[in-house]
Amino acid sequence: MKYFSIFMLLICCHLTSNQLYAQEDNYSKYIFKRGDFNGIGKCYMGREIAYVMGFQGIKWLERSEREKEEDVTTLIKNMRISPNDTIADIGAGSGYHVFKMAPLAKNGLVYAVDIQSEILEAIQLKKSQIG
């Protein structure tokens, strides 16, 4: 029993050290710098991470420059969405991406998930206006 306890302790230590190493490795993908006042100063793949946005920012999410800035058409194309796909946009915001994906998954399901009731109401309103 004594050896079994020592063995289990060693296994736990090994798993914990591997988990910490994996977290450090993921952490090293970020760059910290003084950025835009809208950002948190932490960048991933060259793009600064923005603060969490409330429903008050819905107009910014729907801005006309968004396609040019983010090349959403290429993003959606690279997703290779099929007509029967089931898609979940977690943190859907205004539904900007959802309304671009839904016509491609016409026989499937597209979920717009968000924690803000105001956002969900805005998505529902936009959906009813589209048809």
Q: What share of the chain is helix, strand, coil (3-state, %, to 5)?
A: 50, 20, 35
Q: 57 and 44 in one domain?
A: no
pLDDT, residue 46, reads: 82
Q: How much is the pLDDT for 31? A: 85
Residue 57 sits in the same domain as residue 27: no
User: Would the pLDDT of 22 be above 80?
Assistant: no
Q: Give the pairing type, strands 30-32 and 47-50.
A: unpaired
- Residue 103 and residue 58 in one domain: yes
Task: Enter the pTM of the model.
Answer: 0.65
Phi-psi group of 91: left, alpha or beta (phi > 0 → left; psi -120 to 50 → alpha; rest → beta): left
Tally of structural domains, the chain? 2
* pLDDT, tens digit, 9 for 90 and up, residues 83-120: 999 999 999 999 999 999 999 999 999 999 999 999 99
Residue that terminates a domain, selected from 30, 51, 72: 51
Phi, psi of 71, rounded to the nearest 5 degrees: 50, 55
Q: Which domain holds residue 10?
A: 1-51
Q: Are 103 and 39 found together in one domain?
A: no
Q: Find the radius of gyration of the CA atoms of the chain.
A: 21
The predicted pLDDT at position 26 comes to 56
